[in-house]
Amino acid sequence: MDSDTIWRHIDAERSSLADLLDGLTETQWSTPSLCPGWTVRDVAAHLAMAQSRVGDVVGPMLRSGFSMDRMIRQSAVTSPLGHDEITRTLRGFVGSRRRAPFVQETEPLLDILVHGQDICLPLGLDRPMPLDAARVAADRMVTLNRRPVVRLRPSLRGVRLEATDTDWSTGTGTTVRGPMRALVMVVAGRGRAVTRELSGDVSAAVGA
How is domain 3-123 classified at the architecture level of CATH? Up-down Bundle (1.20)
Residue 11's pLDDT band (boundaries 50, 70, 90)?
very high
pLDDT 10s digits, 42-99: 999 999 988 765 444 444 444 544 345 666 777 777 778 899 999 999 999 999 998 8
Question: For strand 169-170 and strand 159-163, is the pairing parallel, antiparallel, or unpaired?
Answer: antiparallel
Q: Which ranges in the chain are annotated with CATH 3.30.1050.20? A: 131-206
pTM score of the predicted model: 0.88
Where do the CATH 1.20.120 domains begin and end in the chain?
A: 3-123
User: CA-to-CA distance for 110 and 166, rounded, in angstroms?
Assistant: 18
| Cβ contact 106:140 at 8 Å | yes
Nearest to 178 by CA among 196, 190, 158: 196
* pLDDT-wise least confident of 64-78, 136-150, 169-183: 64-78
Q: Which architecture, in CATH terms, is 131-206?
A: 2-Layer Sandwich (3.30)
